[in-house]
Amino acid sequence: MKKFYCTFLLIFFGTALVLCGCSPKTKLSGLAPAQGVVTLDNVPVTDASVSFSPVTGNGTMRAAAGQTDAQGQFMMTTLSPQDGVTPGEFIVTVVKYEKYGPAPKKVVDASGEDVTPPHPEKNVLPSKYESRESSDIKVTIPATGEKNIKIELKP
């Protein structure tokens, strides 16, 4: 019975130490919620990556990212999942990569390691939204946040 309690305590305290060690070390203060929907021709865009890049490089703002769901909705993340963004003005980029063509044939090197190249992918959204230099979409997030961002992509 004593062995059971020792094992239980060891597992309990070991788990507690691991969980304490896994807590976020850095947390930004002043982040504001930012969420919305991405559409193309009034149709929700699923599985797209949304990025907010600060318009100015003043050092206080950070880039943020999000992923659209089945309804085209996204929530932005700066450090921790869905923690929001630093308030300010951002350039928005949106990409959605899909695999195309046949899958590459499996390649194994002399040591037996699989070195098959990745399946080719391409962005299936209009290319103008792929980079901050060509995107014409800007959003301003107030300190209170914005929960109804509408990002309408044009063909």
- The reply to whether 127 falls in a domain is yes
**Could you tell me if 51 and 31 are in contact, meaning their C-beta atoms sit under 8 angstroms apart?**
no
Number of H helices, E strands in the chain: 1, 10
- The reply to whether 74 falls in a domain is yes
- The reply to whether 10 falls in a domain is no
Q: Where are the beta strands (DSSP E) in 86-144?
A: 88-95, 97-99, 121-123, 138-141
3-state secondary structure of 35: strand
pLDDT in single tens digits along all 155 residues of the chain: 444 333 333 444 444 444 444 544 456 788 999 999 999 999 999 999 999 999 987 777 899 999 999 999 999 999 999 999 999 999 999 999 999 888 888 988 999 999 898 988 999 999 999 999 999 999 999 999 999 999 999 99
Least Cα distance to 33 among 80, 84, 79, 81 occurs for 84
Number of domains in the chain: 1
Q: Which domain holds residue 127?
A: 32-153
- The reply to whether 14 falls in a domain is no
